Structure 1
Amino acid sequence: MKIVDVCAFYTPSGGGVRTYVDRKLVAFAERGHEMVVVAPGERDGEERRGPNARIRWVRSPRFPLDRSYRYFSDRSALHRVLDEENPDLVEVSSPWRSASMVADWKSERGARARLALIAHADPLAAYAYRWFGGVATTQTIDRAFDWYWRHLRRLDQRFDMIVSASDSLSERLREGGLQKVLTDPMGVEPGQFSPVLRDMTLRREMLALCGLPEDAMLLIGVGRHAPEKRWPMIAQAATMAGAQAPVGLVIVGGGSRQRPVIEAIDGNPHVRLLEPTTDRAALARMMASADALIHGCEAETFCFVAAEAIASGLPLIAPDRGGAADLARKSGGVLYRSSDALAASEAILSVARNSRTPRAAAPVRTMDDHFDALLALYANEDLVRREGSCR
């Protein structure tokens, strides 16, 4: 099978999307398929990743709201690339302009390719619910943004399947009127994260960085400094919890929106910001050496870092909505009311009161499990005619 992934958010400097796509290129090729990622780039070009794996860059302008990304602006150029590749199946990982462009390509060309829209993002949860959640219910916000749901329903009619990464997102999409939703949860890199990587010397060093002794609780948070990640709220929660018990927090991540996080820390020596790392082995050691992972974003569709924490033997402290919440419920983690610093601090203290003896890793779905299920879904045309789940 030849598969083309039209991936609007793939960028050389990206985080989770780049990690996922790079792994997919290798995994699909290893399983005998040809995989081509089409991404917006600084210039037209092609990058080989193996005998059956390539990235094709389409010259595209920078995205005005985040200059680290680019966006597909030339409909004809994208259609020309799809014509040249002539795939069996086209994946689209953004519900916006690129999805409509791909749907137009098939309808105008009468192309044979089947179309799969991959729900990697939940824009309403990331933006609208966060902006207006303090003054309106989710149902009210959904009604105000009915134009978005109408857009998704139109895509649902034009695509062969909508693939969601979590049960909670699948439920929301079906409630919004989509009829071709299939659930295929993502997973962690096999063999990368494990409790056996726990390093007590590293743990002491991280706690010392937070100005705390080794009998304190060590929290870790991982993610870029973006508003939807809610790091200022997490920093406030750690500070409130620290008034009742010794709690240190290290946040591994970067980005241009760091100032609100620094302001929320407000000089608290027990909360430290660490630079992002591309060294996955080092991150796995840090994660296994903490006592719990805390997450603030309720807009995750899957939440890689939460799955990685489970694989590392850590309990999760997560908001009560989104992909992180799904993983916390399944692994016995602690949930708190989304966007509520006081509720998050109480969740931290709840975990702190329990033994911090490292746990065995809970069974965690791997990325290879995810890819095998996804390919099985693509091979089974009957699945697009009914609701389903790839477990």
Structure 2
Amino acid sequence: MKIVDVCAFYSPHGGGVRTYIEQKLRIGPQLGHEIVVIVPGEAHETLERGPGARIVTLPSPRFPLDRKYGYFADEAALHAALDAERPDVVEVSSPWRSPSMVARWQGAARRSLVMHADPLSAYAYRWFSPVLSRPSIDRGFERYWAHLRHLGRAFDMTVCANHDLAGRLRAGGVAGVRVHPLGVETTIFSPERRDANLRADLLALCGLDANARLLVAAGRLAPEKRWPMVVDAVAAASLDTPVGLVLFGEGREKRAIRSAIGGNPHIRLFEPERDRAAFAAILASADAVVHGCEAETFCMVGAEARASGTAVIVPDSGGAADHARSGAGHTYRAGNRFSLTDAIVAFCERGPRPQGTSGVVSNVRHFEKLFADYGQFGCNSQAA
């Protein structure tokens, strides 16, 4: 098949979507498919990524709140790009403007909406849940739900990477919802990378000895990630048991997070570790990975922790919750600092236990299953 991904969330500067796209460009051709990714860019150009793999950039405005990203503003140009590619399957990885543009395209390809974002959890539920119930919030955002239901009718399937989002979409009347958990680079993330000396070094950076518990966190420094809540919970838990936190990330909330850390010597903030093998060793050497965001569509760091044999402490909703299944970690009440503190204390008092890697899906297996699902669509006349 020829699969074209219209990906508004791609940025060459990094992020989870870029990691996923790079994996797709590498693995898709290995599985016998041609992969083309259409992304916002500065100019119209084609970037070859090996046999059967290309990125096509379309001139697009920058997103005002984060200029690392762009957005598709020229529907005619997008349609022309799709006409030129003549795909068998078109993926769209945004619930905003681009799927509506693709829905209006007159081509014969089958269409898949991949939910790489959960705006209700990231914004509406987070902002209003302290005073309103979720059903009340959903009623207030009925126009958005109507938009999603329209897309469900316009697309052949709606792909979710976690069961919580899939369940909410089905309950909201969105058609064609299927769950395809994302995959992990299991050749990189493994319990075999556990390093007692690295663990001791990280704890020493937190002013603690090897008898303390080491928590690791990683992700964008953005409001929906709730890092100040995580910092406050770890600080509160450390009153009962020695525990250190190392957080890896960058983003516009750095100042707020540094303010939350204050002068606490047991909590350290670092730039992202971009060496994948080094980061895999950090995850495998941690006692647990802690996460604050209930709006994750998958939570890649949670999956990488599972593949590393490391326990997780995650909110009880959103994509992160899936990684605590089958005894692989602790969950706490999403958005509740006191519940997170209790979960950290309970984990530290129980003591880390070796975790298996059952249920972890490799990135190759993910694409095999997803593309097999696409294969049930059939192909257009070009491929035939």
Given that residues 126 and 299 in structure 1 are in contact (C-alpha distance below 8 angstroms), is that contact kept between their aligned partners in structure 2? yes
Q: What amino acid sits opposite 1:279 in the alignment? A: D
**What residue in structure 1 maps to residue 250 of structure 2?**
254
Q: Residue 355 of structure 2 aligns to which amino acid in structure 1?
A: R
Cα offset, 1:332, TM superposition: 3.2
Query: Cα distance, 1:157 vs. partner?
Result: 1.1
Shift of 1:357: 4.8
AA partner of residue 190 (structure 1): T
1:220 match: secondary structure: strand
Q: 1:267 is matched with which residue: 263, 268, 275?
A: 263
Residue 366 (str. 1) matches residue 362 (str. 2) = yes
Amino acid at match of 2:96: W
Q: What is the aligned partner in structure 1 of residue 81 from structure 2?
A: 81
2:36 is equivalent to residue 40 of structure 1: no
TM-score normalised by length of structure 2: 0.96
SS of match in other structure, 2:39: strand
Letter aligned with residue 52 of structure 1 = G
**CA displacement at 1:99 relative to structure 2:** 0.5
- Unaligned runs of 5+ residues in structure 1 are 383-391
1:43 partner letter:
A
| Corresponding position of 2:381 | none
Aligned 8 A contact 1:310 1:331 in 2: no
What is the rounded CA distance, in whole Å, between the counterparts of 2:350 and 2:73 in structure 1?
53
Match of 2:54 in 1: 54
SS in 2 for 1:381: coil
Match of 1:192, SS state, is: coil
Q: For 2:311, which of 309, 312, 315 is the aligned residue?
A: 315
2:141 pairs with 1:148:
no
Note if contact 2:314-2:321 (Cα within 8 Å) is conserved in structure 1: yes
Residue aligned with 1:50, SS = coil
Deviations 1:289-312 (A, max 9, x none): 110010100011111110110111
Whether 1:236 and 2:237 are equivalent positions in the alignment is no
The alpha-carbon distance between structure 1 residues 360 and 185, as it changes in their structure 2 partners (threshold 3 A), is closer
Task: Give the count of matched residue pairs.
Answer: 378
1:220 matched residue in structure 2: 216
Residue of structure 2 in register with 1:11 after alignment: 11
Alignment-derived partner of residue 382 in structure 2: none
Identity of aligned residues (%): 54
User: Within 1, Cα distance between the matches of 2:88 and 2:364?
Assistant: 21
Distance 1:173 1:381 in 2: 22
State yes or no: 1:336 paired with 2:332: yes
TM-align CA RMSD: 1.2
- Within-5 A mapping of 1:189-204: 189-204=185-200
Q: Distance in 2 between matches of 1:9 and 1:331?
A: 33
Q: Secondary structure at the match of 1:353?
A: helix
Runs of at least 4 residues off by over 2 Å: 329-332, 355-363
How do 1:351-362 and structure 2 match up within 5 A?
A: 351-362=347-358
Deviation readout 1:191-236 (Å, 9 max, x if unpaired): 1111111111111110010011110000000101011110000000
Shift of 1:277: 2.1
Q: Is the 8 A contact 2:29 2:35 kept in 1?
A: yes
Structure 2 unmatched ranges of 5 or more: 379-384
Q: CA deviation at 1:358?
A: 3.7
Aligned counterparts of 2:52 and 2:326: Cα–Cα separation in 1 = 37
User: Whole-Å Cα distance in 2 between the matches of residues 35 and 186 of structure 1?
Assistant: 17
CA distance in 2, matches of 1:164, 1:356: 31
* Counterpart in the other structure of 2:169: 173
Question: Could you tell me which residue of structure 2 aligns to residue 121 of structure 1?
Answer: 117
3-state DSSP of counterpart to 1:203: helix
* 1:243 partner letter: L
